[in-house]
Chains A and B, each alone.
Chain A
Amino acid sequence: MNVWELIIQQPLTNVLIVVAHFFGDNFGVAIILLTILVNLALLPLTLSQIRSSKRMQDLQPKLAEIQKKYGKDRQKLAQEQMKIYKESGIKPAGCLLPMIIQMPVWFALYQSIMLALAAVPEGLLNLARYLYPWPVVFSSLPLNPYFLGMNLAQPNFILAILVGASMWIQQKMSATPTDDPRSAASSQMMTWMMPLLFAFLALSFPSGLSLYWIASSLIRIILQYRVTGWGTLRRKASTGQSGKKYVTFESEDAKKTTAKPKPKDEVIITDKESLEKSRKKPSRFSKFFEGRDDDEQSGE
Chain B
Amino acid sequence: MENTEKKKNHNKTAGLIALLVAAVIAIALFGFSCVSGLTPIGWSGGVESNGVLYVGSLEGRLVTIDLIDESRQWAEPLKYPEQSGLFGCSAASACGGGTSRVPVYATPAVSGNLCYIAGYNGKIYAYNTTNLATRWIFPREGYLEALVGGMVIEQGKLYIGCSDGVIYALNSETGDILYQYKTEDKIWGTPTLADNTLYIGSFDKNLYALDADDLTLKWTFTAEGSIFTKPLVENGTVYIGSFDRYLYALNAIDGTLKWKYMADNWFWSQPVIVDGTLYAGCLDGFVYVLDPATGAEVAQPVNLKSALASTPVIYENYIIFAVHEGFVYKIDLDTLEPLLIASFESTLDGPLTLHEGVVYLQTNDAVLQRIDTSTGALLPPIYLTTQ
Contacts and interface: CB of A to CB of B under 8 A. Distances in A.
A206 B96 CA distance: 9
Interface size class of A (residues with CB under 8 A): 35 or more
A126 B150 CA distance: 21
Interface in A161-200: 181-183, 185-186, 188-190, 193-194, 197, 200
17 contacts: A110-B33, A117-B94, A120-B40, A121-B188, A123-B37, A123-B38, A124-B228, A125-B37, A126-B36, A128-B268, A141-B243, A155-B94, A185-B14, A190-B21, A193-B19, A204-B87, A205-B96
A129 B266 CA distance: 10
Contact of A127 (B7, B22, B37, B84): B37
Contact of B85 (A131, A190, A193, A204): A204
A139 B243 contact: yes
Given A154-B91, A182-B10, A201-B29, A120 B35 contact: no
A183 B94 CA distance: 38
Given A186-B17, A200-B86, 7 more contacts: A120-B38, A122-B36, A122-B38, A123-B37, A155-B85, A181-B7, A182-B14
B309 A125 contact: yes
Contact residues of A: prevailing secondary structure: helix
Interface in B272-288: 283
A115 B86 contact: no
A193 B84 contact: no
Given A181-B10, A182-B10, A126 B37 contact: yes
A153 interface: yes
Contact of A138 (B39, B87, B94, B225): B225
A289 interface: no
Interface in A88-116: 107, 110-111, 114-115
B224 A190 contact: no
Interface residues of B, number: 56
A121 B18 contact: no
B94 to A, nearest CB: 4
Contacts of B243: 138-139, 141-142
A127 B89 CA distance: 22
Nearest to A203: B86
A188 B177 CA distance: 58
A201 B10 contact: no
Contacts of B36: 122, 126
Q: Which residue among B6, B36, B93 has the maximum number of chain A CB atoms within 10 Å of its CB? A: B36
Nearest to A198: B25
Interface in B56-110: 84-87, 89, 91, 93-96, 105
A186 B6 CA distance: 14
B275 to A, nearest CB: 30
Interface string A121-156: 111111111010101001101100000000001110
B172 interface: no
A247 interface: no
A69 to B, nearest CB: 19
A15 interface: no
Contact of B14 (A139, A154, A188): A188
Contact of B244 (A107, A138, A183): A138
A153 B94 contact: yes
B307 A197 contact: no
B25 A197 contact: yes
A286 B146 CA distance: 49
Q: Give 9 nearest A-B pairs by CB, closest first.
A: A126-B37, A189-B18, A185-B14, A186-B14, A123-B37, A120-B40, A107-B33, A122-B37, A119-B94
Interface string B1-44: 00000110011011101110110011011001101111111010
B180 interface: no
A28 to B, nearest CB: 16
A201 B13 CA distance: 25
Nearest to B7: A181
A111 B29 CA distance: 10
Given A128-B265, A189-B18, A206-B94, A111 B85 contact: no
A16 B203 CA distance: 20
B33 A111 contact: yes
A141 B35 contact: no
A121 B26 contact: no
A118 interface: yes
B11 A185 contact: yes
A268 to B, nearest CB: 23
A87 to B, nearest CB: 28
B365 interface: no
Contacts of A205: 94-96
B298 to A, nearest CB: 24
A268 B195 CA distance: 87
Given A128-B283, A138-B243, A121 B29 contact: no
B39 A120 contact: yes
Contacts of B86: 200, 203-204
Contacts of A185: 10-11, 13-15
